[in-house]
Amino acid sequence: MDNLLSKIKYYYPKDNDLLVRAYNYAKAAHANQKRASGEDYFIHPYCVAEILVDLGMDASAVAAALLHDVVEDTPVTREELRKEFGDEICELVDGVTKLDKIVFTSKEEEQAENLRKMFFAMARDVRVVMIKLADRLHNMRSLQYLSHERQQAMARETLDIYAPLAGRLGISSIKCELEDLCLKFLDPEAYAYLAEAISQKREERQELVNALIKDVQQMLTDLGIHGEVFGRPKHFYSIYRKMKNQHKSIDEIYDLIAVRILVDNVKDCYNVLGTIHTKWKPIPGRIKDYIAMPKPNMYQSLHTTVVTNYGQPFEIQIRTYEMHKVAEYGIAAHWKYKEGKTSESEFSKKLTWLREMLEVEGDLKDSRTFYNSIKGDLVSNEVLVFTPKGDVISLPEGATPIDFAYHIHSAVGNKCTGAKVNGRIVKLDTPLQVGDVVEIITNANSKGPSWDWLKICKSSGAKAKIRQFFKKEMAGENLKKGREMLEAEAKRKGYALSDLAQEPYLKAVYDKYSFLSFDEICAAVGYGAYSTNQILFKLIEQYERVNHIVRVEGKSPSVKKSPTGSVIVKGCDDLLIRFAGCCNPVPGDQIVAFVSRGRGVSVHRADCPNVRDMEPERLLPAEWAGASKEVFAVSLQLTAEDSPALLASVTTAIANLRLNLSAFNARLDKKGRAIINLTVQLPDITQLETLIQKLEELKGVSEVFRTTF
């Protein structure tokens, strides 16, 4: 392990004592711990620190990398670490430490909340994510030692979040390696095929590439331009994605090796591009100028694909040496090459996308929604459009004039009433295309954005600014006014708003109108953006669907259908009726109604165990009304001797009765018997007896009964 200490001594002479102390502290803290590979655990923080040294990160980041697991995986506390190494290093370690003291309801929630913590720490200090990327890279390099399930989960998360994040930060070296490692575990057959096929193709094309490099080098000499020319093989995942998305075979992929030209300045870049197009024919649509219009991750280069004298197309990339450093190291170049060339204000601008993204994502309370939203923000492609004055604006793919307006300024977005694209008036939901010239039409008397805009716009920045507008509207009387309006209308319809304003009923409204909270719903009603009926219709619809509720009116009720069937409750006067989830009664079952306190009437099967414990004076007679054309779910449990043909026999018996099997779960109990739980769709209860009889006749089956719960 002398290699890391040698690098530390060479690259960090002023901070050598600090880093050696962190090295020894972490090594001692992780003593006697082993990784899944059987190696000493300290190998991991050692390798993470070495990756950051190679990226040129500062001493504090390297020290935090060495210490990044001591709080999470050893008895060392945050207070002890802070006392030993100070606030800065402790905060970096805390940013990458998982939330291990909180009990989560699911693995997905834990994953999303740890990502949320990391992203907000990253917004404060981008070095947090540099440590996390190095941590994930080394874990992916040693993924073969984990179980198949953990391999798949980590590779999928890496491909969804960490590789795109490295791309957004412009660190292509980490992004490409992460993507290739993910492919190796997510689709090992494709990876093995590409490894062999690309190796063969590369050998075939290497002679052509060498000849092309020689021609370009001579071209530079003739132009009197100093520069370097070399071939760059494309990484596996890039080729895999192109083959999959464009439905091409490996023989149809010509740019397995791109030719890269490095020169001293921008003028030389364009001179070389012009000369190349004079010598070889460029392919239309394959010329991209990322120097005049850099990518959001700071990437700059000229790209062109030309058909050479050798009869095959080649991709050629032209950039300066400085651009090449940024392309390889991305945001890490701020530390690696910061001889006064990147100011703090310029550096801060590069993270604007992150801060804007977190403005809206930070309000998302549902973990899975947060995860999916972050993932969508990271992987979205860009569209470069122009202002009427010729300024270049970068927006996510699918962006609309609304995104453009809010990118210019929140005041422009809030007063936006229309838009012109290339001189023609267009709808506000029109997707913008590369090269469009966009002009926003504003009106000083506009009341502001619509909630519907949240579904139209694509950029996190626009969504955040729209929400900020409505938060201001919520701050006054609109919130109170809207709540009072909803309460009054709900009461008039026979409901209590407190019953309706709960999950999962609110989710239907959130999904339809893009709300994130009940306060936003109330404010929107108070503000006049939506009527009480719009909101309550969706809430009541979802409430009744989830609870299987039907309203029965009058002492001689006119019967209405519910999702479970039509029912008459005798002696019931204008009460809400719901069907008990404990026994799920279906037409044909003997039923009884129970008058609950404050929740109307619940209908149970007469043989439901819960009925025995109910107060007799609160039970009412109930019956099914007429024939139903609906089908109903009935759950059964089957016990049998375990055999290879058992599952096939059960499903065949159900199919022979022309019934639909909607759920199926099988397991072995402690005695080795097969326990099968299944749900079948039945037109009425008479079919149930036939089904149970047929299942009991199967070989090895000892018991079949209807489950109550």
Structural domain boundaries in the chain = 2-188, 189-336, 380-472, 476-547, 549-624, 632-706
Fold adopted by 380-472: Ubiquitin-like (UB roll) (3.10.20)
Residue 553, pLDDT above cutoff 50: no
The CATH number of domain 632-706, selected from 3.40.50.970, 3.40.50.10470, 2.40.220.10, 3.30.70.260: 3.30.70.260
Q: Is 108 a catalytic residue?
A: no
Residue 544 bears catalytic tag: no
What is the CATH code for 2-188?
Answer: 1.10.3210.10
Query: What tens digit of pLDDT does each residue of 114-128 get?
Result: 666 666 666 677 788
Q: How far are the Cα atoms of 107, 349, 362, 378, 402 from residue 460, in angstroms, in the given order?
A: 26, 16, 11, 11, 12
Q: Determine the average pLDDT of the residues in 174-196.
A: 89
- Please say whether the beta carbons of 451 and 426 come within 8 A: no
Domain 189-336 class, CATH top level: alpha beta
Q: Are strands 227-233 and 257-263 parallel, antiparallel or unpaired?
A: antiparallel
For residue 229, give the H/E element and its range.
strand 227-233
Q: How far apart are CA 515 and CA 512, in angstroms?
A: 8
pLDDT of residue 626: 58
**Is there a common fold for 380-472 and 632-706?**
no
Residue type (1 letter), 653: A
Give the angle 209-215-216 at the CA atoms, nearest 5°: 90
What is the average pLDDT score of the chain?
79
Cβ–Cβ < 8 Å for 48, 117:
no
Q: Is 486 exposed, middle or buried (0-12, 13-18, 19+ CB in 10 A)?
A: buried
Closest CA to 22 of 39, 53, 588: 53
SS3 (DSSP) at 398: coil
What is the average pLDDT across 445-449?
A: 85
Residue 665: partners with Cβ closer than 8 Å, 6 or more residues away? 676, 677, 678
Q: Which residues contact 581 (CB under 8 A, 6 or more apart)?
A: 548
**Greater model confidence, 562 or 57:** 57
Angstrom distances, CA of residue 598 to CA of 529, 602, 618, 666: 33, 11, 13, 39
| CA–CA distances in Å: residue 193 to residues 247, 381, 451 | 16, 28, 49
Nearest of 419, 515, 512 to residue 466 by alpha carbon: 515
Single out the catalytic residue among 40, 73, 80, 359.
Answer: 73
Measured CA to CA, the distance from residue 678 to residue 504 in angstroms comes to 25
Q: How far apart are CA 624 and CA 640, in angstroms?
A: 35
Identify the CA nearest to 398 among candidates 459, 475, 452.
459
CA 162/CA 324 separation, integer angstroms: 22
Residues 553-573 have a mean pLDDT of: 52
Residue 526's pLDDT band (cuts 50, 70, 90): confident
- In terms of Cα–Cα distance, which of 379, 382, 62, 328 is closest to 176? 328
Say whether pLDDT at 251 is over 90.
no
Are 489 and 481 spatial neighbours (Cβ–Cβ below 8 Å)?
Answer: no
Instruction: Summarize pLDDT for 49-95 with one digit per residue, the tens.
Output: 999 998 888 899 999 999 998 988 888 888 899 899 998 899 888 87
Which residues, in sequence order, are bridge partners of residue 243? none
Peptide bond into 296 cis (omega under 30): no
Highest mean pLDDT among 143-157, 386-400, 622-636, 653-667: 143-157
182 pLDDT above the threshold of 70: yes
The reported pLDDT for the residue numbered 104 is: 42
- Please give the pLDDT value at position 375: 59
Q: What is the 3-state secondary structure (H, E, C) of 584-614?
A: CCCCCCCEEEEECCCCCEEEEECCCHHHHHC
Tally the residues of the chain: 709
Determine the pLDDT at residue 36: 84
Cα–Cα distance measured from residue 152 to residue 184, given in angstroms and rounded to the nearest whole number? 10
What proportion of the chain, given as a percentage, has pLDDT over 70?
Answer: 79
Active-site residue, from 39, 72, 477, 703: 72
Question: Closest Cα partner for 565 from 628, 620, 622?
Answer: 628
Burial track 414-438 (b if 16+ CB lie within 10 A, e otherwise):
bbbeebebeeeebebebbbeeebeb
Over residues 532-538, mean pLDDT: 83
Kindly compute the dihedral angle of the four CA atoms of residues 319, 323, 324, 327, in this order, to the nearest 10 degrees. Answer: -120
Give the pLDDT score at 562.
44
| Chain position carrying tokens 């092309």 | 212
Q: Which of 106-115, 410-419, 668-677 has the highest mean pLDDT?
A: 410-419
Query: Angle of helix 43-55 relative to helix 16-29, nearest 10 degrees?
Result: 150
Using a 10 angstrom Cβ sphere, with 0-12 exposed, 13-18 middle and 19 or more buried, the burial of residue 388 is exposed
Helix (H) or strand (E) holding 323: helix 321-329
| Residue 340: per-residue pLDDT | 41
Dihedral sign for Cα 53, 56, 59, 64, please.
negative
* Cα–Cα nearest to 557, from 545, 541, 568: 568
In this prediction, residues 482-507 reach a mean pLDDT of 82
Residue with the two structure tokens 């990398």: 65
E strands along 321-474, which residues?
A: 382-386, 392-396, 416-421, 424-426, 438-442
HEC states along 502-543?
A: CCCHHHHHHHHHCCCCHHHHHHHHHHCCCCHHHHHHHHHHHH
Residues 145, 36 contacting (CB under 8 angstroms): yes
